[in-house]
Amino acid sequence: MRLTDIAITPDGAVGYISNGSSLNASVIRTSTNTVIDTIHLNGFSVDVSILPDGTQVYFLLQFSNEAAVADTVSNTVIATIPVGASPRIIAFADVILS
């Protein structure tokens, strides 16, 4: 297993670790630094990002050329999105339009 990235929920309680050389991601409780769950993925995750509202986490899957969307309550993949060849970086911003 090789850590490639980590994203922390907005409340700081949970971290999602992208395990680059495994077909999964680790979910950790930050207060105890313990693994509390594992999310099974359909590819090697190279980056991870959480929506600003903390409801979903996105993993970029390098060799399957898609993003896996996981629900942060159930810690299960709920959708996949085609993203093109060799994705590397994903990010979200909390933008307010007036």
Q: What is the pLDDT of residue 46?
A: 87
Residue at 59: amino acid letter: F
**Mean pLDDT, the chain, integer:** 89
In a domain, 95, yes or no: no
Question: How many angstroms separate the Cα of 18 from the Cα of each of 35, 60, 96?
Answer: 13, 9, 29
pLDDT digits (tens, 9 = 90+) for 11-37: 999 999 998 778 999 999 999 999 999
In a domain, 94, yes or no: no
Query: What is the extent of the structural domain holding 10?
Result: 3-82
User: Which CATH number is 53's domain given?
Assistant: 2.40.10.480
In a domain, 11, yes or no: yes
* Percentage of the chain modeled with pLDDT above 90: 63
Residue with tokens 């313990």: 34
Q: What is the pLDDT of residue 94?
A: 67
Q: Is the pTM of this model over 0.85?
A: yes
Number of domains in the chain: 1
